[in-house]
């Protein structure tokens, strides 16, 4: 297939060529870089890599609405931080918690919810709620070039995984429809769970204790746990993805690590070092030395959203 026929939303150039050439090398049986299909593992961060994460990650918006709901039952919540900040959409205070602080708090609002209840809540929310400035449904804030890339990789025998700091079950509620990625190929942060009987039915409930916060080195540990194989392609957009990209590149033969730089204030957002909820700083500085390819949204993508 000619380069022009695949990845239609990607501008021709160094990045697109590097992807197409990499895929050709690992799928060509005559190549010394040939990788059998079972080992063609590609891992993608979600927030900021597959969909928009500004002004805050979708996970945080989901928690805002959940807390509003909880505050109806217990109005005193509105007086307490960080509940107050979430209820008042005080982005500055939320950002001051940092990624882990804000996410952990967001996750805790789901303690006591069963997996089936959570899935129904998440589905209903994703069907209804819109991004505050883009106007589109959150679930439609996914990037078209990445959907094409996921399809292209799978067409070439890859298995595609999400490895993200986002809550595993919120991602699972949209990964099949949005990315054609089955639930079991989603790795994320999660609360511990416990089996209990509810109305006579054995059910899994979320506890208020964090099981894993899937960021930085922990992403590598979770790749080991869930996949059990070193990926050959990694795609991220923040310092939280650096360990996963380095781990991917450290294997033998051909490897590809890509880093999305949000430099497109016109079509999406332009940000990097100053984004408190997931900065891109160290990864940008070491990308060239480490062999990580920086994708410029402005330069490399013809279209941004689906």
| Spatial distance between the Cα atoms of 90 and 101, rounded to a whole number of angstroms | 15
Per CB under 8 A, the list member of 16, 172, 255, 261 interacting with its own copies is: 172
Q: How many Å apart are CA 229 and CA 118, to the nearest integer?
A: 30
Examine residue 201 and tell whether it contacts its own copies (CB under 8 A). Answer: yes
Residue 87: count other Cβ atoms within 10 Å of its Cβ. Answer: 17
The verdict on 247 binding its own copies (CB under 8 A) reads yes
Show contacts with its own copies in window 125-164 (CB under 8 A): 159, 161
Measured CA to CA, the distance from residue 256 to residue 242 in angstroms comes to 13
Looking at the Cβ atoms of 115 and 263, the one nearer to its own copies is 115
Least distance from C-beta 232 to its own copies, angstroms? Answer: 14
Interface with its own copies, residue 112, by CB under 8 A: no
**Residue of the chain from 169, 214, 241, 268 that contacts its own copies (CB under 8 A):** 169
81: CB partners within 8 A, 6+ apart: 93
| Smallest separation, CB 113 to its own copies (Å) | 12
Residue 226 within binding range of its own copies, rule CB under 8 A: yes
Q: Are 166 and 57 contacting, i.e. CB atoms less than 8 angstroms apart?
A: yes
Pick between residue 2 and residue 38 the one whose CB is nearest to its own copies. Answer: 38
- Any contact of residue 123 with its own copies (CB under 8 A)? no
C-alpha–C-alpha distance, residues 242 and 238, integer Å: 7
Distance CA 190, CA 169 (A): 8
225 binds its own copies (CB under 8 A): yes
* The dihedral sign for the CA sequence 38, 40, 46, 52: negative
Footprint of its own copies on this chain (CB under 8 A)? 38, 115-116, 159, 161, 168-169, 172, 176, 182-186, 190, 192-195, 201-204, 211, 217, 220-221, 224-230, 243, 246-247, 250
């Amino acid at each position: 297939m000619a380069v022009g026929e695949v990845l239609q939303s990607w501008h021709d150039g160094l990045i697109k060529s590097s992807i197409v050439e990499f895929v050709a090398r690992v799928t060509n049986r005559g190549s010394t870089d040939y990788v059998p299909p079972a080992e063609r593992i590609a891992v993608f961060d979600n927030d900021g890599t597959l969909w928009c994460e500004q002004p805050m990650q979708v996970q945080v918006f989901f928690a805002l609405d959940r807390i509003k709901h909880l505050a109806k039952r217990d109005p005193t919540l509105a007086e307490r931080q960080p509940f107050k900040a979430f209820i008042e959409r005080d982005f500055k205070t939320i950002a001051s918690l940092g990624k882990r602080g804000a996410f952990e708090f967001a996750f805790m609002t789901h303690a006591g919810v069963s997996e089936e209840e959570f899935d129904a809540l998440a589905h209903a929310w994703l069907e209804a709620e819109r991004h505050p400035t883009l106007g589109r449904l959150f679930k439609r804030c996914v990037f078209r070039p990445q959907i094409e890339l996921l399809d292209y990789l799978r067409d070439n025998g890859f298995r595609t995984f999400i490895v993200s700091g986002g809550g595993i079950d919120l991602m699972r509620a949209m990964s099949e429809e949005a990315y054609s990625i089955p639930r079991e190929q989603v790795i994320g942060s999660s609360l511990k769970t416990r089996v209990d009987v509810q109305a006579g039915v054995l059910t899994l409930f979320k506890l208020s204790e964090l099981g894993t916060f899937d960021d930085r080195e922990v992403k590598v540990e979770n790749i080991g746990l869930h996949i059990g194989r070193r990926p050959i392609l990694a795609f991220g957009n923040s310092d939280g993805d650096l360990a996963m990209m380095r781990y991917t590149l450290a294997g033998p033969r051909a490897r590809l690590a890509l880093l999305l730089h949000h430099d497109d204030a016109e079509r999406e957002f332009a940000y990097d070092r100053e984004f408190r909820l997931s900065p891109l700083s160290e990864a940008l500085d070491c990308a060239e030395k480490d062999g990580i390819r920086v994708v410029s949204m402005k330069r490399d993508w013809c279209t941004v959203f689906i």
